[in-house]
A and B are shown apart, each in its own frame.
Chain A
Amino acid sequence: MKRLSIFLLFLVLAASLSAQDDLMNMLKDSTAKEINYATATFKSTRVINGHSVQMMAPGQLDVRISHRFGLVNSGAYEFFGLDQSNMHFSLEYGITKWLMVGIGRGSYEKTFDGFAKYSILRQSTGARNMPVSVSALSSIAATSLKWTDPTRTNYFSSRLSYVGQVMIARKFSPSFSLQLTPTMVHRNLVPTELDPNDIYAVGAGGRMKLTRRISLNAEYFYMINSKKYMSETIYDPFSVGFDIETGGHVFTLLFTNSLQMIEKGFVGETTGNWLKGDIHFGFNISRVFTLKK
């Protein structure tokens, strides 16, 4: 009886071994055809202020809370700006692999905003070689601050501004990614005739991993419009920050010269000058909830 069972076991093992051979072959065949997509080009859907190429996975909700404090150079009495704060929070949801939408509210000019982001190309190797990931963003923002002069004829359209943006990013290595971001901002109402309604800018952002949980991010937007004749002195926004990943959260500590956290605000309305120390300390918190598997 014992011998028989050993014999049977041997038979089963032999059969399974040959089956494994088949499986190995099948695996080899399939890996040759497989597409390896680059994942986590950036840790979250933002580089710092601006959007990254990264999308929310379908069924996942990202709850984001961001703060920008006052000017660091405002002195010890204002506790280096921390007495003042400016916030923005948003809910962002992945609908499909290629589409995510979000709504938000910022305290600057009491602005409501909404966006849709589409994934167009994904960086990949293997069966399909694609050197870069490309996403596109379109967003709309409406201020709700009371009009300074309620007696004049005020139009709702004057509250609106639109943003169109293309994000082109490449993950060069597991620890280094770069992104180029051509941007267009349209504002329905500007202060004077000299201020452009359409602002064109090119952004550049990067991420460098320092440790397993911490990465250094930097971001810059170059405004193509001439800033010489605008009614206010405008600077290009530049930000540096650290992404810190702490189990389910991405926590970004940052320094920037722009107070606003949406494209319409930091491209074309940044009044801080880094060289003079007009820098704001701030943070972004991102918490992802899985709503649908």
Chain B
Amino acid sequence: MKRLLKYILFAAIIAAGVCSCYYDSEEGLYPSISSTCDTTNVTYSGKVVPIFANNCLSCHSNARAASSGGSVALENFADVSAQAASISAAINQTGPLSPMPKNGSKLKACLITTFDIWVRNGKPNN
């Protein structure tokens, strides 16, 4: 019993040493993402596709849209550009549409701004 306790204590000390405390913030670690919002050069492939890939496609991919995405697919350019107005209302969480992302926190302001800029630029497929 005593020996077991010693092992547990030893393992705990090792674990604490391996992953000791850090004082990080997302702002400090990833300055390009959160503190300054880069709104120049907003292209569909470069800026808009990653937003959808990281935040929406877990439910709204072509494969899953029917079962978990309310039949709203957001994987192809044609689908996104046709529904741009509704998407904007859903992620800005202002309109009568169901606020998105569902059961999660609102998207970072920069991502919403980026999407809106792309819509304002005439939804180019670039």
User: Interface of A with B (CB < 8 Å)?
Assistant: 84, 95-96, 99, 101, 116, 140, 148-153, 155-158, 160, 162, 186, 188-193, 195, 197
A189–B22 Cα distance when bound, in Å, is 7
Interface pair B27/A192, CB less than 8 Å apart: yes
Interface pair A149/B28, CB less than 8 Å apart: no
Add 11 more A-B contacts to A151-B54, A157-B19, A188-B22 (CB < 8 A). A96-B1, A96-B5, A140-B15, A149-B50, A149-B54, A153-B29, A155-B29, A158-B22, A162-B21, A189-B25, A190-B24
Known: A96-B5, A157-B19, A160-B19. A152 touches B33 (CB 8 A): yes
A158–B5 Cα distance when bound, in Å, is 29
| B36 beta carbon closer than 8 Å to chain A | no
A230–B64 Cα distance when bound, in Å, is 37
Interface pair A190/B50, CB less than 8 Å apart: no
For A84, what are the chain B residues with a Cβ–Cβ distance below 8 Å? 103
A194–B25 Cα distance when bound, in Å, is 9
A189–B30 Cα distance when bound, in Å, is 12
Interface pair B5/A99, CB less than 8 Å apart: yes
Interface size class of chain B, counting residues whose CB lies under 8 Å from the partner chain: 20 to 34
Interface pair A152/B30, CB less than 8 Å apart: yes
A101–B15 Cα distance when bound, in Å, is 15
A97 to chain B, nearest CB (A): 12
Interface pair B25/A191, CB less than 8 Å apart: yes
Kindly identify which residue among B12, B24, B34, B55 contacts A188, using a CB–CB cutoff of 8 Å: B24
A162–B19 Cα distance when bound, in Å, is 11
Query: Which of B74-95 touch A at CB < 8 Å?
Result: none
A–B complex contacts, Cβ < 8 Å, 7 sampled: A157-B19, A157-B24, A186-B21, A191-B26, A192-B25, A192-B27, A197-B25
A193–B25 Cα distance when bound, in Å, is 6
**A interface footprint on B5-35 (CB within 8 Å = 1, 0 otherwise):** 1001000100100010111111111100110
For A99, what are the chain B residues with a Cβ–Cβ distance below 8 Å? 5
Kindly identify which residue among A150, A153, A195 contacts B54, using a CB–CB cutoff of 8 Å: A150
Looking across the interface, which residue of chain A has its beta carbon closest to that of B23? A197
B10 to chain A, nearest CB (A): 13
Known: A96-B5, A116-B12, A148-B54. A195 touches B25 (CB 8 A): yes
For A197, what are the chain B residues with a Cβ–Cβ distance below 8 Å? 21-25
For A151, what are the chain B residues with a Cβ–Cβ distance below 8 Å? 50, 54
